[in-house]
Structure 1
Amino acid sequence: MTARLVAGARLFFLSAFLLAGIGAFGRVVGWVALTTTLGPTAYLLLAHPGSVGARLRSAVLAHASAVAAGLACLAAFGLWDHPSIVVQNHDTARQIGAQALAVGLTLFLLEMLDAHHPPAAATALLITSGISRPGPPLYGMLTGLALVLAIAPLLARAASNTAARRGRDGDGS
């Protein structure tokens, strides 16, 4: 087996296990915990655990900044109770403004905090588009993020330790 195939299979199984578990947890508690920001976050944490973007500090500060920017832009543009772009089937000029400003503000904060984690931009968009609006949709997204940030590094470390043991034992063929 090639190393690339083994690495790909590892990522396939780890990410599928992680995200299915988070989705199932969300169903149990009645929230949508599996949102689009989780995929790229899981990828960084599982595939590139040593990168700057996968550092827990970067991921937590980045998503926290995105949540703050998203909520501030919802309030500033008067969109707190506005229907989501999914319900409307389009976005309004105010939503576009809030989305653009929230992502820009998030990227500014990531630079100022030296907390580079690109998936946070998706978090800002999910909030300002109304998809992860304040209330249960936001709680679900935050729960999903917390679970990914807590579990993915453990899975990556366990998989790395298993691979290292196999290599030491000569079973890595």
Structure 2
Amino acid sequence: MKFHLVDRKFLDHPRPFFIQSMLASAIILGTLMILQFISPVIIAAIGATTFIVFAMPRNSTAGMRSIFGGHLIGMACGLAAAWIPYSEAAGSIAVGLSIFLMVILDAEHPPAAGTALGVALEGYNAPSVAFIVAAAGLLAVAHLALRRWMVDLV
């Protein structure tokens, strides 16, 4: 195995790396400005979704079913687990249950496990729920609209 500092794909074809990274920045900036929401754990999960959509657009986890379905599953598991009295238990159960449901429902989206954890720790919060649904929807639509022009960067 040869050590390399910069990905060979970038050296051969740098343009998509710049374009897709800038598109990701623009989409997440627009999402954050439009939705005006700040919850670090939830925003981190949406940030990870943005990475998948723009760095791995051909991966099944970047599809609409996975993005929207995964975050809805994560949100539902987090809300259900939020009733558990100990936050450590609530968070761990929410993550495990969301993984189980995403896998059996063919809606695998790794960042949605972060959504489950964030919602379980935060509890029911209408702005959080609205942000997750809206941000997942915007990213799924962006993926649908731009996918044909994007390439896998990883």
Q: Is this contact kept in 2: 1:46–1:155, CA < 8 A?
A: no
Matched, 1:116 2:116: no
What CA deviation, in whole Å up to 9, does each residue of 1:135-172 have, x standing for no partner?
22322232222211222332343456xxxxxxxxxxxx
> How far apart, in 2, do the equivalents of 1:151 and 1:107 lie?
25
1:44 aligns with 2:14: no
Which consecutive unaligned segments of at least 5 residues does structure 1 have?
79-93, 161-173
Whose Rg is larger?
Answer: 1
Q: CA deviation at 1:21?
A: 0.6
Describe the SS at the equivalent of 2:15.
helix
What's the TM-score, normalizing by structure 2?
0.79
RMSD of the TM alignment (CA)? 2.3
**Which of 79, 87, 91 is matched with 1:99 structurally?**
91
> Within the alignment, does 1:141 sit opposite 2:132 as a pair?
yes
Judged with a 3 Å threshold, the aligned counterparts in structure 2 of structure 1 residues 48 and 17 are, in CA distance, closer, same or farther, namely same
Decide which of 13, 29, 35 is 1:26's aligned counterpart. Answer: 35
One-letter amino acid matched to 1:20: L
CA–CA distance in 2 between the matches of 1:145 and 1:15? 13
Runs of 4+ in 1 over 4 A off after TM superposition: none
Following superposition, the deviation at residue 71 of structure 1 comes to 0.6
AA partner of residue 145 (structure 1):
A
Q: Distance in 2 between matches of 1:157 and 1:40?
A: 21
Calculate percent identity across the aligned residue pairs.
26
In 2, Cα distance between equivalents of 1:38 and 1:113: 21
1:73/1:110 CA distance change after superposition, 3 Å: same
For residues 56-110 of structure 1, the C-alpha deviation after alignment (integer angstroms, 9 at most, x for no partner) is 11222211111111110012x15xxxxxxxxxxxxxxx11110000000001111
Question: Which residue number corresponds to residue 69 of structure 1?
Answer: 77
Give the TM-score taking structure 1 as reference length: 0.71
Q: Kindly indicate whether the alpha-carbon contact (under 8 Å) linking 2:72 and 2:133 is maintained by their aligned counterparts in 1.
A: no
Q: Quick check: 1:73–1:128 contact (8 Å CA) kept in 2?
A: yes
